[in-house]
Amino acid sequence: MTDDVRIAAKRAKLVSEKERWARENRQFGKPEAPTGRLPRGQHLVRDWPVLDLGTHPNVPAKDWTLRVEGLVDVPTSFDYRELSLIPRSERTVDIHCVTSWSRLGDTFAGVATRDLIAEVRPREEARFVLIKSYDGYTTNLPVAYLHEPDSLIATHWNGAPLTREHGGPVRLVVPALYFWKSAKWIRSIRFVEHDIKGFWESRGYHMLGDPWKEQRYA
């Protein structure tokens, strides 16, 4: 079996399992109310699980670009050097995965998404974005979440450059939503008027994904 066939089989198995979870509206936790910093249905982990579609794109920082397009006045492509010229932001946040794990107090650094979008000037009718990744993954979210103070285009995690398996050289981090919205290996941000389903949203996952409302599935 070739590597491509193994990867395709792994992806198909993963997608099939998660589609089943969505159909069955799988619940991970007990019905008690969330407590402190941990939403209902979540448990703490010490490591950082690696979840993806079975491939880790090899995009060196020198070759990475991000296209910001759609309903904006100044469509722009940023390379890694140009991204570094935007003032750096650092945030310590909690992250919650739809598969029920959570990590508390991770520090990400990069560019605040609200600083990035200020460069392209979204139009008034741009209410949503569709995010695309180098591995073909897509996800969607309301523009308002790019204005959240903790949302970043991240290049570093806990003081070190993001590793390839965790989305390096650059990934999206939106702590207010389940982490499937924080696309790894981010390649483009398209501003649109109407919400467009991404990869998991097309397969039964919630269009928003607020962990405090347990918005796992449609």
Q: Which architecture does CATH list for 3-49+60-213?
A: Alpha-Beta Complex (3.90)
pLDDT at residue 168 tops 60: yes
Distance of CA 28 to CAs 31, 57, 100, 214, 216, Å?
10, 30, 6, 10, 10
In the chain, the percentage of residues whose pLDDT exceeds 90 is 81
What pLDDT shows up at residue 26? 66
Burial tier of 46 (Cβ tally within 10 Å: 0-12, 13-18, 19+): exposed
- The C-alpha atoms of residue 170 and residue 65 are separated, in whole angstroms, by 9
What pLDDT shows up at residue 53? 85
- The C-alpha atoms of residue 21 and residue 134 are separated, in whole angstroms, by 26
pLDDT band at residue 211 using 50, 70 and 90 as cut-offs: very high
pLDDT band at residue 74 using 50, 70 and 90 as cut-offs: very high
pLDDT tens readout for residues 37-66: 999 999 999 999 998 888 899 999 999 999
pLDDT at residue 31 tops 60: no
pLDDT band at residue 85 using 50, 70 and 90 as cut-offs: very high
Query: How much is the pTM?
Result: 0.90
pLDDT at residue 170 tops 80: yes
Residue 159: how many other CB atoms lie within 10 Å: 8
On average, the pLDDT of the chain sits at 91
pLDDT at residue 105 tops 70: yes
